[in-house]
Amino acid sequence: MTALAALFVRDVRLAIRVGGGGGIGVLFFLIVVTLMPFAIGPDLALLGRIGPAILWLGALLASLLTLDRLLAMDQEDGSLDLMLTGRSPLELAVAAKALAHWLTTGLPLVIAAPLLGLFLNLDLGSSGAVALTLLAGTPALTFIGLIGAALSVTLRRGGLLLAVLVMPLTVPVLIFGVAASNAALVGPLPFGTPFTILCALTLISIVVGTFAAATALRHGME
Amino acid sequence: MRLLGTQLVCVRGGRQVFAGLDFDVGAGEALVVTGRNGAGKSSLLRMIAGFVRTAGGLLELRHGDPELTLPEQAHYLGHQDALKPSLSVAENLDFWARYLGAEAPGRDGLEAVGLGAVAALPAAYLSAGQRRRLSIARLVAVQRPLWLLDEPTSALDRAAQETLAGLMRAHLAGGGLIVAAAHGPIGLADTKELRLEEAP
């Protein structure tokens, strides 16, 4: 357990120090959301209606942007090799890394979402609902991304391939995330139904993601 | 404790690197693997460390800890140093010591390789030789019976090579095992040699 805690603390530290790239995702999120009103025009009613979808798309793209930092840097400097000689199972080690990654890149998106909701003419309640769905859904994005990161880890500069690999797999999360946000805003569906499915998707991807990523790493090491 | 390799076969990228390789290292013994570039020295070490699959043959550590696998009882010192430039020297060592299983990592490792004075410095400012020494400190900070050293003396100055030789002698005297890949002498007097020839 000490080993996993040490790994978690190290990854959080690396992300928040200079050059760690923890803040880049939030900046990207801010830019995507800010650009949307320029592209769509000053139609406040329209912006309010599609606001949750824009926030979700922005968060999805921002979380894809930072995925290549998840494992690639540890592969480049040989840390991943040494992790295989550790005594904690690789599944738990990658889970600890993904958790640290979510805490430093996913959680800031959730916190930023209500603020960015103001840009899209969302009232505070609606923004809160979107933030809640992001809180439930962004861990799924990280853990699905973990599979892609493990698959593309031995490729130099595999960041773009990683995004292409992962994006189709995130479609269900996006659908139910936006559905739950819209349900909170306009109905007619009760908020609970899509939100429960979103939580289920997150729990499934945490389990599947860690095992799939560990398997992919073991086979890809060579 | 005894590390045995029997009829090992290594295939990488579809090419057979070596085949029918036998070796035997006992407690307190050092095995130096030699051979030309590309003969499979590093591949053999990575195979023992569990990073490369054996295409055939058997690797076993007799009388080791039955609860642990072979890689979990080995230290691997490769060409990559697994150091994070934005963490300090002490933080880098502390992380690996904790991750690899030290109960309470201390400063012994840093002192042993003469890096005690730069403990608070970010690893980004270390020279190649200092980075190497910091990697070596890991071997001291966590007790593991088998050391796998890939060209351990590269980038080290004469004094640091002496320090490393001293650490290796202490490790062997404590019943440890060393398998090292090297082109030149590694500073140990009494070593076995395993020469890798071109695969037939």
Average pLDDT over residues A186-198: 84
Left, alpha or beta for B29 (phi > 0: left; psi -120 to 50: alpha)? beta
Q: Do the beta carbons of residue A151 and residue A165 sit within 8 Å? A: yes
Closest by alpha carbon to A122, among A36, A25, A26?
A36
Q: Do the beta carbons of residue A76 and residue A149 sit within 8 Å? A: no
Digit-coded pLDDT (tens) for B41-62: 888 898 998 888 888 888 888 8
Average pLDDT over residues A133-147: 94
- CA angle at residue A139 from A16 to B91, to 5 degrees? 30
Query: Considering only CB atoms, which residues of chain B are within 8 Å of chain A?
Result: 12, 46, 49-53, 68, 71-72, 74-76, 78-87, 91, 94-96, 98-101
Structure tokens at A94: 């990658």
Q: To the nearest whole number, what is the mean pLDDT of chain A? A: 88
Residue B200: the pLDDT is 47
Residue A191: the pLDDT is 82
3-class DSSP assignment, residue B61: strand
Instruction: Express as a percent the part of chain A with pLDDT over 70.
Output: 96
Residue A1: the pLDDT is 64
Residue A20: the pLDDT is 63
How many Cβ atoms from other residues are within 10 Å of residue B183's Cβ?
A: 14
CB contact under 8 A, A222 and B12: yes
Judged against a pLDDT cut of 80, whether residue B85 lies above it is answered with yes
Average pLDDT over residues A14-42: 84
Could you tell me which chain A residue has the CA closest to the CA of B76?
A82
Judged against a pLDDT cut of 90, whether residue A144 lies above it is answered with yes
Digit-coded pLDDT (tens) for A49-86: 888 899 999 999 999 888 888 888 888 888 888 888 88
pLDDT band at A94 (very low <50, low <70, confident <90, very high): very high
In B, which residues are within 8 Å of A221 by CB distance? 51-52
Q: Do the beta carbons of residue B80 and residue A81 sit within 8 Å? A: yes
Residue with more model confidence, A96 or A162: A96
The predicted complex's ipTM stands at: 0.86
Judged against a pLDDT cut of 60, whether residue B199 lies above it is answered with no
Please, which residues bridge with residue B88 across strands? B122
pLDDT band at A142 (very low <50, low <70, confident <90, very high): very high
Reported pTM:
0.89
Could you tell me which chain B residue has the CA closest to the CA of A75?
B82
Structure tokens at B132: 């190497």
User: Residue A199 and residue B12: Cα distance in Å, rounded?
Assistant: 43
Residue A154: the pLDDT is 78
3-class DSSP assignment, residue B17: strand
- Domain locations in chain A? 2-220
Residue B122: DSSP 8-state? B
User: Residue A166 and residue A156: Cα distance in Å, rounded?
Assistant: 17
Query: Nearest CA to CA, how far is B129 from chain A (Å)?
Result: 16
Residue B198: the pLDDT is 63
User: Residue B94 and residue B102: Cα distance in Å, rounded?
Assistant: 9
H or E segment to which residue B177 belongs: strand B177-181
Give the count of Cβ contacts less than 8 A between chain A and B.
81
Tell me the residue type at B57. G
**Nearest-by-Cβ selection for B80 from A20, A77, A88:** A77
Digit-coded pLDDT (tens) for A121-131: 888 888 888 99
- The two beta strands, B30-34 and B192-195, are parallel
Judged against a pLDDT cut of 90, whether residue A183 lies above it is answered with no
pLDDT band at B67 (very low <50, low <70, confident <90, very high): confident
Give the best residue of A74, A82, A104, A221 to mutate against chain B (max B CB count within 10 A): A82
Residue given tokens 């019976």 in the structure block: B145
**Core vs surface per residue A121-157: b (16+ CB within 10 A) or e:** bbeeebbebbbbbbbbbbbbbbbbbbbbbbbbbbeee
Judged against a pLDDT cut of 60, whether residue B139 lies above it is answered with yes
Q: Do the beta carbons of residue B8 and residue B47 sit within 8 Å? A: yes
User: Residue B31 and residue B29: Cα distance in Å, rounded?
Assistant: 7
C-alpha dihedral, A219 to A222 to B2 to B6, nearest 10°: 100
Residue B154: the pLDDT is 84
Kindly indicate whether the domain formed by B2-195 is annotated with CATH number 3.90.1150.10.
Answer: no
Q: Does residue B66 have a cis bond before it (omega within 30 degrees)?
A: no
How many Cβ atoms from other residues are within 10 Å of residue A213's Cβ?
A: 29
- Domain locations in chain B? 2-195
In B, which residues are within 8 Å of A222 by CB distance? 12, 51-53
* Interchain CB contact of A1 with B (< 8 Å): no
User: Residue A60 and residue B199: Cα distance in Å, rounded?
Assistant: 50
Q: Do the beta carbons of residue B113 and residue B134 sit within 8 Å? A: yes
3-class DSSP assignment, residue A190: coil
pLDDT band at B104 (very low <50, low <70, confident <90, very high): low
Residue A212: the pLDDT is 94
Residue A98: the pLDDT is 94
Average pLDDT over residues B76-102: 88
- The two beta strands, B2-12 and B15-26, are antiparallel
Q: Do the beta carbons of residue A177 and residue A137 sit within 8 Å? A: yes
How many Cβ atoms from other residues are within 10 Å of residue B15's Cβ?
A: 9
Residue B105: the pLDDT is 65
Closest by alpha carbon to A99, among A206, A171, A13, A17?
A206
User: Residue B182 and residue B33: Cα distance in Å, rounded?
Assistant: 6
Query: Nearest CA to CA, how far is A164 from chain B (Å)?
Result: 26
Residue given tokens 């840097």 in the structure block: A73
Residue with more model confidence, A155 or A22: A155
pLDDT band at B40 (very low <50, low <70, confident <90, very high): confident
The DSSP line for B140-151 is: HHS--SEEEEES
Query: Nearest CA to CA, how far is A58 from chain B (Å)?
Result: 29
